[in-house]
């Protein structure tokens, strides 16, 4: 499965899609990037006149790239339109502010993938290569089922 196929399977759309590119992916991890655009909805009112990216958005960027993209890759054909990967836990340390129009790069290393649960060590760096947040993220595969009535 290539990067574009993974991006096409992501269960998100704008304005809640936080993956621009996957530059590397294999069974052990993923590297991807996203640029935080100044007109994004979450900057309006978040530190008036001096917008800063909320930590929950940085966590979501790391989860979409570092957990969901990797999970789709690992599941390959086992991930379909009725599948999703639900976040189960995070332990993130925020080290530096991220501002509008910054590009961030997320590196994720698989800690384990078993019984439908994926746990990863993630690190986000800014354009200068300085770590802005780091930690662990875990999630599990959910098979959505719709009953015919």
The candidate with the shortest Cα–Cα distance to 71, out of 111, 20, 23, 18, is 111
* Identified catalytic residue from 1, 46, 83, 94: 46
Rounded to whole angstroms, how far apart are CA atoms 20 and 33? 6
The two tokens of residue 84 are: 């999703």
Query: Does the bond joining 115 to the residue before it have cis omega, within 30 degrees of 0?
Result: no
Rounded to whole angstroms, how far apart are CA atoms 149 and 139? 30
Indicate if 37 belongs to the active site. Answer: no
Q: How far is CA 51 from the centre of its chain?
A: 21
| Active site (catalytic) residues | 46
């Amino acid at each position: 499965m290539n990067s574009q196929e993974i991006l096409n399977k992501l269960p998100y759309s704008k304005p809640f899609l936080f993956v621009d590119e996957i530059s590397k992916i294999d069974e052990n991890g993923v590297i991807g990037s996203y640029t935080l655009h100044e007109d994004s909805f979450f900057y309006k009112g978040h530190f008036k006149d001096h917008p800063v990216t909320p930590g929950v958005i940085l966590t979501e960027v790391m989860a979409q790239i570092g957990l969901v993209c990797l999970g789709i890759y690992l599941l390959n054909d086992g991930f379909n339109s009725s599948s999703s990967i639900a976040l189960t836990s995070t332990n993130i340390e925020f080290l530096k502010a991220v501002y509008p129009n910054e590009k961030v790069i997320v590196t994720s290393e698989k800690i384990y993938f078993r019984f439908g649960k994926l746990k990863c060590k993630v690190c986000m760096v800014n354009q200068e290569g300085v770590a802005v947040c780091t930690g662990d993220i875990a999630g599990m595969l959910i098979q959505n089922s719709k009953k015919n009535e």
